[in-house]
Amino acid sequence: MKRMPNAKILRDYIFLALFTTCLFLPAKGEGVLYISETPMKAASGRSAGPGGHAEHRASASRSYYLSAEDLSSDSEVLVLRPDGSRGEASMHICGEGLMLTVDTRPMDASSDGIFLVYVVDRHVENETLLVRVAKLNLLNHSCRWGHEYKFNSERLRAKFSDEVPLDITASPLWDGNFHSRTMSGDVIGVQALRYGKPLEGAKISLSTQGGWTKTFRTDDSGTASVQLIRDYYPAQWSEFSRDKKGTFRILAEAEFEEMGVLGDQPYTKVRVTTSLPWKYASSRREYQSYAYGLSLGATFMVVSGLGVFIYRERRKKSYREIQFDEHR
């Protein structure tokens, strides 16, 4: 006979479920801070990542969303333009939360490249200074400007700021034309930097939109690498879209024994987390075939070559000698 759970057990289950849910929901001012092109859904992080800004067109400003609903009074925004000069950004509250608008004027090739956008939030909790850094590589490019930087390694390289407590760079994320180029299967090199200097032993984790996470630590040069897995599996091949972009987030974490005071709050330890979102597409190997391509090309070469050869052979006329009698 099937036994029905009594009301007390059911109540305990519900309580346990609610408690577990609350445990994983970050409180205000906690959790990882990250920037996204699309509005956040709570703070789960599953919807995070750059979304729909056009990569091929210029824009006077570009807006992004922050994962936090509010920031401490000690938060700051840092924008570095591709030429290294300081850029401007403003933050305001909108229906979807905190919105960050970066000024990307002037709309000419002088600002062609990658803007570095940082939001740094600091607050003290239990004598620990919690520093949350959200970094964004902003692609500011218009194909109309041309692609004069495509072989300029200085303009193309992944940059960092030595003003940021914990910075991370990742590459390769874009191609010479400043379009995102990351594909599943790519090996991504990550470097952690503490005020511009390589940081050994930083905990790095890479999480994809599908929920896959890989955690590793940086070596003595502050670097580590990870291969991005494939996590796009449509049920049917007809549903496959090569343009579908997945998002991933790189998170760096480090702790330091440092004493200091923030405002009037002393601290004895510093914990820094830095996030960097990016997007990736399916690997071309998933939907492109050399075998079929070269076979088809070779078939057409052979068939058309044979066709011309046979046509010429059939038009050949056998030799017929014509003799003229010159005496007649």
Contacting positions for other proteins (CB under 8 A): 143-144, 146-148, 150-152, 175-177, 237, 240-243, 284, 287-290, 292-294, 296-301, 303-305, 308
Q: Which is nearer to other proteins, 106 or 266 (CB)?
A: 106
Overall residue count recorded for the chain in this entry: 328
Q: How far is the CB of 107 from other proteins (least distance, A)?
A: 13
Q: Which is nearer to other proteins, 19 or 311 (CB)?
A: 311
Q: Which is nearer to other proteins, 178 or 267 (CB)?
A: 178
Q: How far is the CB of 173 from other proteins (least distance, A)?
A: 16
Nearest to 178 by CA among 139, 208, 214: 139
Which whole-number Å values give the CA distances from 255 to 126, 163, 264, 271, in the listed order? 14, 17, 21, 4
Q: How far is the CB of 83 from other proteins (least distance, A)?
A: 16
* Residue 29: both structure tokens together: 């001012």
Q: Which is nearer to other proteins, 17 or 301 (CB)?
A: 301
Residue 72 φ then ψ, to 5°: -70, 165
E strand intervals along 74-127: 76-80, 89-94, 97-103, 113-125
Q: How far is the CB of 279 from other proteins (least distance, A)?
A: 18
Q: How far is the CB of 231 from other proteins (least distance, A)?
A: 17
Q: Which is nearer to other proteins, 271 or 279 (CB)?
A: 279
Taken in order 256, 260, 262, 266, the sign of the CA dihedral is positive
Taken in order 82, 83, 84, 85, the sign of the CA dihedral is negative
* Residue 299: both structure tokens together: 């078939």
